[in-house]
């Protein structure tokens, strides 16, 4: 446990915790004890909103192409898959865990889904349900190994990253798998179609998942337990929260969301690629961190992650519109990640 | 574009002929098996701006910004300077179909006059190509066009025929195996940096077919096995060492689907294994050429990436300014071995100078 966490445990948190254990209102106490963390998260969230607005206004002034409706919808569509996976990662970050295998889970599930549809001729929606469940099972394995055997999640999932990438290659034989769905299939229509003739379906999936996840995280008991687990795990255990279960569920949620993301990808491109998601974990982590969820857990929000994903999407799109060199994009993304972490650190220092 | 509009462009017949002559020169060079130094205006200093036509915006999107594409960038910029174009070359840092498609859509949103795309899959790239075409943007494909894309989009292609290149490499490797080992059977390892990449997988499968043709003609029995590896030399060499430790007694050759035969040469030199097996592959890294020169690599197959940039741009110019639709150009499968290495090294040095003048450090060619 780091010094900051110890301070929290040593001072207000433990006192409040003991009081409330007697009163039998543990969840409220945990939230109150994490009040400082929540205040920090709000401050950090504000800085994310300001950053997103600055980039939006800056790009709008720099090129008239940016503000066009088609282009804004393009940016929103392009961040859909990133945001969906980043939702799961936000749960993990808040509970102070990480999943480095998300890119590989996403790629592996894309190949499994393509295999089920194209080679086993199973209905696409049934296949999608199967890969969502499979994603949850992969998350369960990650969660159980991490929590029951005490192995750090970055090591467990680093192994998973390699295993699942190899699994995708073995399953596909190295070749892409084309879906070849008929024109009457509802799968591409509902995963890649245009609702009202304009808005890409992926945006609705992204918004739906974001709203539900945001509600779960901010308004339910499970959400409070996630914050409590990441904010102060020892205190959370003392109040009776099953932190191992909370973390495992967060891993499962992340895996299941990778399954949905794989379905949206296949609906759009019509093929499964064994190298799908290679390096994608870095983009996902970037979205979460830029969105204000700290690496040390206990704070953060789904809406912040959405803003983080939007910032990444606007940079990628804006650099192309501005005619910038392809080599500049990683520099820009990396710089923003560093600035985001720097902002976190400064806010934490001021909060002490 | 109507013919009336076409001829309103402020381009002299002389300028047009100059562009087409340069393009024709590149086509000849691409299809030529024996390399020769290219004309000074395409190999030396970057061409001066000719102010030859309207200010066009042309964007190339690739699937992987690896150093192989630097000559293609130089080729695009060379032509762009002559034609007074605004050019841009973008792509994901590593091979990624999803990100490539996103960048293609971003390129379309930038409202260019034309785009150059790569299409490494039969399905995934059809939608963005069609969207660009529907918006009146000229689309020419370069480097890779997966089967079915031409039928679905009609887009022309400038690049290597991977089946032809693979057959050539496989057959050539058979000759070198016999020369180095004298054995009639054994294993050929086929390193591949991006399993699933259409071009590389096609080269590997065609390479196996080429080797099989050699088997049938000479009564040998060489088999093949793919080995997934990386562009990182240290990791790739570790892969080779592990494979050698496991199957060293069976291995008679290495045929990379990409440029990793360069690393095989490096590893062979370090371990005194030169001459114990045949080594071949694709593309023209500086080190690859040096290895051919010193004998640690037997051959490499080039695909003229400069031409993939320059000729694609020339086809775009032809369609934009004169209304002639683009048609396919094969940039060849140039065999480079000990017999022509000096001439090729001289030629590649010229490209390197051109790249430096455009602000790039050329490390490889194709």
User: Maximum distance among all alpha carbons in chain B?
Assistant: 70
Identify which of B65, B97, B106 has the shortest CB distance to residue A269. B97
pLDDT at site B316: 97
Classified as helix, coil or strand, A60 is helix
Buried b (16+ CB within 10 A) or exposed e, B85-102: bebbbbbbebbbbbbbbb
Query: Average pLDDT of chain A?
Result: 87
- Give residue B38's pLDDT band: very low, low, confident or very high (50, 70, 90): very low
Phi, psi dihedrals of residue B153, rounded to the nearest 5°: -120, -20
The confidence band for B69, taking pLDDT boundaries of 50, 70 and 90, is confident
Alpha-helix residue ranges (DSSP H) falling in chain A: 3-8, 14-23, 26-33, 35-62, 69-78, 80-94, 102-114, 124-149, 153-172, 186-192, 201-219, 221-231, 233-238, 243-269, 280-290, 302-321, 328-351
Contact predicate A320/B109, CB 8 Å: yes
* Interchain contact A334–B (C-beta under 8 A): no
Asked whether the beta carbons of A105 and A116 are under 8 A apart, the reply is no
Cβ of residue A81 closer than 8 Å to a chain B Cβ: yes
Architecture of domain B3-156+305-357: 3-Layer(aba) Sandwich (3.40)
Query: Is residue B35 predicted with pLDDT exceeding 70?
Result: no
Whole-angstrom distance, CA of residue B37 vs CA of residue B345:
10
CA nearest A93: which of A340, A316, A346? Answer: A340
User: Per-residue pLDDT tens for A176-230?
Assistant: 898 888 777 899 889 988 888 889 999 999 999 999 999 999 999 999 999 999 9
Q: Is B93 helix (H, G, I), strand (E, B) or coil?
A: coil
pLDDT confidence of A20, banded at 50, 70, 90? very low
Tell me whether residues A323 and B228 touch, CB distance under 8 A. Answer: no
Q: With an 8 Å Cβ cutoff, is A176 touching chain B?
A: yes
Tell me how crowded residue B309 is: count the other CB atoms within 10 A of its CB. Answer: 31
**What mean pLDDT is predicted for residues A223-252?**
96
Yes or no, beta carbons of A174 and B195 under 8 Å apart: yes
End-to-end CA distance of chain B: 34
A269/B103 Cβ within 8 A: no
Residue A134 pLDDT = 98
| Helix, strand, coil percentages, rounded to 5, for chain B | 50, 15, 35
Which helix (H) or strand (E) segment holds residue B334: the answer is: strand B334-336
- Cβ of B196 within 8 Å of Cβ of A273? The answer is yes
SS3 B270: helix
Give mean pLDDT, residues B21-50. 39
- pLDDT for A325: 75
Cross-strand pairs, B87: B58
Of residues A71, A178, A330, nearest to B93 (C-beta): A330
- pLDDT reported for residue B87: 95
Residue A36 sits in a domain whose CATH number is 1.10.3470
Of all residues in chain B, the percent with pLDDT exceeding 70 is: 81
Query: For residue A292, how many other CB atoms are within 10 A of its CB?
Result: 30
Cα A40 from chain centroid? 20
Q: What is the extent of the structural domain holding A294? A: 3-351
Contacts for B180 with CB less than 8 Å, ≥ 6 apart: B252, B275, B276, B277, B278, B298
- A262: tokens are 């794989």
Q: pLDDT: is B31 or A63 the higher one?
A: A63
Distance CA B115, CA B130 (A): 12
* Cβ neighbours for B333, distance < 8 A, ≥ 6 positions apart: B160, B161, B164, B165, B168, B169, B301, B302, B303
Q: What is the per-residue pLDDT across B149-177, written as a single tens digit (0 to 9) for each?
A: 999 999 999 999 999 999 999 999 999 99
Please state, in angstroms and rounded to a whole number, the distance separating the CA atoms of residues B325 and B321.
11
One fold for B3-156+305-357 and B163-302: yes
CA nearest B58 in A: which residue?
A323
Residue B346 region, left (φ>0) first, then alpha (ψ -120 to 50), else beta?
alpha
Q: What is the pLDDT of residues B118-151, one digit of tens each?
A: 998 888 999 999 999 999 999 999 999 998 999 9
User: Can you give the pLDDT at residue A351?
Assistant: 64
Do B301 and B336 contact (CB within 8 A), yes or no?
yes
Per-residue confidence (pLDDT) for residue B357, from 0 to 100: 59
For residues A323 and B86, give the distance between their C-alpha atoms in angstroms, rounded to a whole number.
Answer: 9
What is the reported pLDDT for B39? Answer: 34
Q: How far is A133 from chain B (nearest CA, A)?
A: 23
Q: Which of A62-71, A111-120, A173-182, A212-221 has the lowest mean pLDDT?
A: A173-182
Distance CA A199, CA A194 (A): 5
Q: What is the C-alpha separation between A164 and A157, in angstroms, rounded? A: 10
**Helix or strand holding residue A323 (H, E):** none
Q: Which residues pair with B225 in a beta bridge?
A: B189
Q: Report whether A25 contacts A223 (CB < 8 A).
A: no
Strand partners, B192: B228
- Does A229 contact B at CB distance below 8 Å? no
SS3 B142: strand
Within 13 Å and on the Cβ side, how many CA atoms surround A198? 7
List, in order, residues 6 or more apart from B348 with CB less than 8 Å away. B284, B286, B289, B365
- Asked whether the whole model's pTM tops 0.80, one would answer no
* Cβ pair B65:A326 closer than 8 A: yes
Chain A residues whose beta carbon lies within 8 Å of the beta carbon of residue B97: 176, 269, 271, 273, 275-276
B200 phi and psi, to 5 degrees? -70, -40
Counting beta carbons within 10 angstroms of the beta carbon of residue B54, is it exposed (0 to 12), middle (13 to 18) or buried (19 or more)? Answer: middle
- Packing angle, helices A26-33 and A14-23, rounded to 10: 160
Asked if A206 contacts A77 with a C-beta cutoff of 8 angstroms, the reply is no
Least confident interval from A260-269, A279-288, B88-97:
B88-97
Dihedral (CA of B187, B188, B194, B195) sign: negative
Q: Is residue B292 within 8 Å of B337, Cβ to Cβ?
A: yes
Cα separation, B106 vs A313, in Å, equals 10
Split into its structural domains, chain A has a count of 1
Say whether residue A39 is in contact with chain B using an 8 A CB cutoff.
no
Q: ipTM of the assembly? A: 0.77
Q: Looking at the predicted structure, is the pLDDT value of residue A11 above 60?
A: no
**Residues B257, B260, B266, B272, Cα dihedral to 10°:** -40
Is residue A74 less than 8 Å (CB to CB) from chain B?
yes
Looking at residue A239, what is its pLDDT?
93
* Segments making up each domain of chain B, as ranges: 3-156+305-357, 163-302
Residue whose C-alpha is closest to residue B104's, from A157, A327, A78, A170:
A78
8 Å CB contact of A175 and B196: yes
Strand (E) or helix (H) holding B291: helix B286-294
Average pLDDT, chain B: 84
Report the relative pairing of strands A194-195 and A199-200 from DSSP bridges: antiparallel
Asked if B260 and B237 count as a contact pair (C-beta separation under 8 A), the reply is no
Of B121, B195, B228, the CB nearest to A271: B121
Tell me the CATH number of domain B163-302, given options 3.40.50.2300, 1.10.540.10, 3.90.15.10, 3.40.228.10.
3.40.50.2300
β-sheet bridge partners, residue B279: B254
Give the pLDDT score at B356. Answer: 63
User: Is A257 a residue whose pLDDT tops 60?
Assistant: yes
């Amino acid at each position: 446990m780091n010094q900051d966490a110890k301070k929290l445990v040593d001072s207000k948190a433990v006192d409040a915790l003991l009081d409330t254990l007697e009163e039998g209102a543990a969840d409220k106490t945990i939230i109150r004890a994490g009040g400082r963390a929540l205040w920090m998260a709000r401050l950090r969230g504000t800085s994310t909103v300001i950053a997103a607005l600055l980039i939006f206004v800056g790009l709008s002034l720099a090129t008239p192409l940016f503000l066009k409706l088609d282009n804004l919808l393009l940016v929103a569509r392009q961040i859909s898959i990133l945001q969906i996976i980043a939702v799961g990662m936000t749960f993990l970050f808040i509970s102070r865990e990480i999943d480095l295998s998300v890119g590989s889970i996403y790629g592996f599930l894309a190949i499994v889904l393509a295999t089920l549809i194209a080679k086993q001729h199973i209905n696409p929606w049934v296949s999608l349900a199967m890969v969502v469940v499979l994603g949850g099972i992969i998350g369960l394995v990650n969660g159980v190994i991490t929590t029951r055997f005490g192995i750090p999640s970055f090591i467990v999932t680093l192994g998973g990253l390699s295993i699942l990438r190899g699994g995708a290659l073995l399953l596909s034989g190295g070749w892409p798998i084309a879906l070849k769905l008929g024109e009457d299939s509802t799968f591409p229509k509902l995963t890649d179609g245009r609702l009202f003739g304009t808005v890409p379906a992926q945006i609705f999936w992204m918004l739906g998942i974001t709203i539900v996840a945001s509600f779960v995280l901010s308004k339910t008991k499970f959400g409070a337990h996630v914050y409590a687990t990441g904010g102060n795990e020892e205190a959370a255990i003392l109040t009776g929260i099953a932190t191992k279960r909370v973390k495992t569920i967060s891993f499962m949620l992340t895996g299941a969301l990778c399954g949905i993301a794989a379905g949206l990808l296949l609906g759009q491109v019509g093929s499964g690629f064994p190298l799908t998601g290679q390096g994608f974990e870095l983009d996902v982590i970037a979205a979460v961190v830029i969105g204000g969820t700290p690496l040390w857990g206990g704070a953060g929000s789904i809406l912040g992650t959405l803003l983080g994903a939007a910032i990444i999407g606007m940079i990628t799109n804006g650099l192309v519109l501005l005619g910038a060199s392809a080599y500049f994009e990683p520099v820009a993304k990396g710089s923003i990640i560093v600035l985001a972490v720097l902002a976190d650190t400064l806010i934490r220092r001021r909060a002490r | 574009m109507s013919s009336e509009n076409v001829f309103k462009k402020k381009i002299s017949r002389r300028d047009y002929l100059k562009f087409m002559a340069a393009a024709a020169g590149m086509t000849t060079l691409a299809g030529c098996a024996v390399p020769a130094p290219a004309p000074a205006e395409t190999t030396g200093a970057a061409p001066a701006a000719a102010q030859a036509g309207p200010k066009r915006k042309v964007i190339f999107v690739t699937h992987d910004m690896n150093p192989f594409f630097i000559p293609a960038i130089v080729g695009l910029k060379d032509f762009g300077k002559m034609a007074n174009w605004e050019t841009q070359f973008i792509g994901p840092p590593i091979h990624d179909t999803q990100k490539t498609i996103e960048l293609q859509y971003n390129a379309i949103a930038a409202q260019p006059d034309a785009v150059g795309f790569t299409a490494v899959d039969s399905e995934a790239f059809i939608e963005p190509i069609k969207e660009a075409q529907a918006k009146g943007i000229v689309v020419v494909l370069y480097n890779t066009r997966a089967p079915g894309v031409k039928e679905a989009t009609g887009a022309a292609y400038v690049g290597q025929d991977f089946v032809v290149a693979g057959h050539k490499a496989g057959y050539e490797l058979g000759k070198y195996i016999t020369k180095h080992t004298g054995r009639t059977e054994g294993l050929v390892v086929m390193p591949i940096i991006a399993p699933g990449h259409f071009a590389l997988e096609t080269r590997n499968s065609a390479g196996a077919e080429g080797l099989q043709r050699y088997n049938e003609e000479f009564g040998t029995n060489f088999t093949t096995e793919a080995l997934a590896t990386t562009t990182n030399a240290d990791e790739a060499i570790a892969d080779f060492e592990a494979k050698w430790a496991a199957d060293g007694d069976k291995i008679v050759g290495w045929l990379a689907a990409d440029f990793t035969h360069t690393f095989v040469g490096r590893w062979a030199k370090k371990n005194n294994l030169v001459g114990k097996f045949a080594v071949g592959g694709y593309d023209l890294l500086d080190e690859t050429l040096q290895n051919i020169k010193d004998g640690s690599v037997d051959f490499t197959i080039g695909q003229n990436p400069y031409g993939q940039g320059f000729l694609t741009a020339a086809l775009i110019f032809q369609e934009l300014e004169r209304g002639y639709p683009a048609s396919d150009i094969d940039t060849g499968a140039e065999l480079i071995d000990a017999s022509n290495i000096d001439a090729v090294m001289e030629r590649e040095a010229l490209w390197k100078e051109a790249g430096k003048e455009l602000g790039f450090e050329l490390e490889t060619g194709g």
